[in-house]
Amino acid sequence: MRVKFFALLTCGALFLNFVGVVSAQTKTTVQTSVQTNQLAALLPASDGVLTLDVQRLLNEAVPQILSSKQQTLAQMNAKIDELREKTGLDVRQFEQIAVGVAMKRISAQEVDLEPVILARGKYNANALIAVAKLAANGKYREEKFGSRTVYVFTGKGMIAPNKPTTKNSWFDKTIDRMINSLTKEIAVTSLDGGTLAFGSLARVRETFENKSPINTEVLSLVNRKPNAVLSFGAKLPNGLSGFVDLDNDELGKTLDSIRQMSGAVEIGDGNTAVSVTAKTLKAEQAQSLKETLDGLQMLGKAFLGGGKTEDKKVYGRMIDNARVAQSGSEVTLDLQVPQSDINILLTGIK
């Protein structure tokens, strides 16, 4: 389940990377957060939603996080320029992403996740699809839904021959692993002049037919941190243990009490802040969840508190700085990581 889900997301990311789609003009945080939320509102009925403000990701988050890895940052920018030269399209035109995930239980131990991805920017969506068709070299098919044409590609067949070339061994290995996981087809169409929709054929069809729009409750979970670079929210009608392989029944019961999850990543002032909130059915279940997290934090401090290497010291500080709080049936975990600690964790990446 998880492999299929991430493979499809990877396929979408590499598709956008190849055809050259990312952002051009700098907007204020308020403007981009509003636009990202508006894009999420176009998703079909989904159990979970993830939104990404690519403008802030490229212009703020990535430069800050890679501030100690200027060579890696330069390689990324050079690759963007290379794609622009090859395709005639500016990779810095991409603006927002919204992902809607439908959950379907296919067995007692397995849940299938089917995402659809909306990608908006200052570009001609139909022109990008034309570029993708050229890249596929005829290895695609067309599906007609009324007057709309949807193009169905085999992710591995289209992406692998056109994958970005890098001189960075970590990038190369990561890209190869992602491509090897691509087995599903990806359907692509334009939702409007500047918006692409892609995912499974069924989910793409649900998007433009719009018979069942996304639940406002799920959207409200995503909008808790309107200035975040990345936000997510999900309803979990069957609990969380189905998504995690566990041998501990007690921990499984605690996870099964969770009915909503939401979170956000914020960047600024030399810090990366991560916030995750879980909502249970009852307040006493939330109390049990908080006590479990408190216990895990104590164990983490015991194991890493006396770490000798710099990276273990960072992990120890992260565990120590994590703040767990309960309010009614909600438990929130907040963590701020200073850029100096991120620099240490990035030391081993080449």
How many Å apart are CA 98 and CA 42, to the nearest integer? 9
The one-letter amino acid at 174: T
Alpha carbon distances (Å) from 268 to 2, 51, 58, 345: 31, 18, 13, 18
Strand pairing class (94-105; 230-235): unpaired
DSSP summary character for residue 112: E
With beta carbons less than 8 A apart as the criterion, state whether 126 and 149 touch. no
Task: Look up residue 59 and give its DSSP letter.
Answer: I
Task: Provide mean pLDDT across the span 85-107.
Answer: 77
State both tokens at 33: 């957060």
Closest to 325 in 3D by CA, of 299, 289, 296? 289
Grade residue 87 by pLDDT with cuts at 50, 70 and 90: low
Cα angle 71, 178, 80; round to 5: 40
Burial of 211 (0-12, 13-18, 19+ CB in 10 A): exposed
Domain boundaries, the chain: 1-214, 236-350
Is the model's pLDDT at 344 over the cut of 50? yes
Residue 176, token pair as written in the block: 């190869």
Band (7; pLDDT cuts 50, 70, 90): very low
* pLDDT at residue number 90: 67
Task: Write out pLDDT tens, residues 30-50.
Answer: 455 556 678 999 999 999 999
Query: pLDDT (tens digit, 9 = 90+) per residue, 51-77?
Result: 999 889 988 999 999 999 898 888 888
Most confident segment among 182-186, 235-239, 328-332 = 328-332
d(CA 33, CA 207): 21
